[in-house]
Amino acid sequence: MRRRDPKASLAEALSAGENIKAWLDGVTLERYSDDEILRSAVERQFEIVGEALNRALEDNSSLAESLPEARGVIGFRNRLAHGYDDISSRVVWTIALENLPPLLAKIRRVLEELS
């Protein structure tokens, strides 16, 4: 397996998360639920967040201490990828609005510590 730079993976997770925040700024649950393209885009970005965090942890397992929620995000990524037909728009939208901002703040902090 090729070693990657965990900072690059964290930066990818941060970028994808920032896309989600920007795309959902001011968007209601109803609008999100009705917009198949937006839902698909947000779910894809969540998949990137989860995969990038997975790669970062593979390449630097000590990051799990700084980002304890990473395993949950990776699990959410797997649910989106493999159980996509069992995830409601409300769940994705709620996670994006409530759980994503604190996660992104932690990722920023970890990136600063690694620099």
The CA-based dihedral angle spanning residues 59, 62, 67, 70, taken in that order and rounded to the nearest 10 degrees: 50
Q: What is the pTM of this model?
A: 0.92
pLDDT digits 0-9 by tens, 24-76: 999 999 999 999 999 999 999 999 999 999 999 999 999 999 999 999 999 99
29: in domain: yes
70: in domain: yes
Going by the DSSP 8-state scheme, the letter that residue 82 receives in this structure is H
23: in domain: yes
CA-closest candidate to residue 18, choices 111, 86, 113: 111
1: in domain: no
The domain in which residue 45 lies consists of 6-114
67's torsion region: left (phi>0), alpha (psi -120 to 50) or beta? beta
37: in domain: yes
Number of independent structural domains in the chain: 1
Assess contact for 102 and 17: CB atoms under 8 A: no
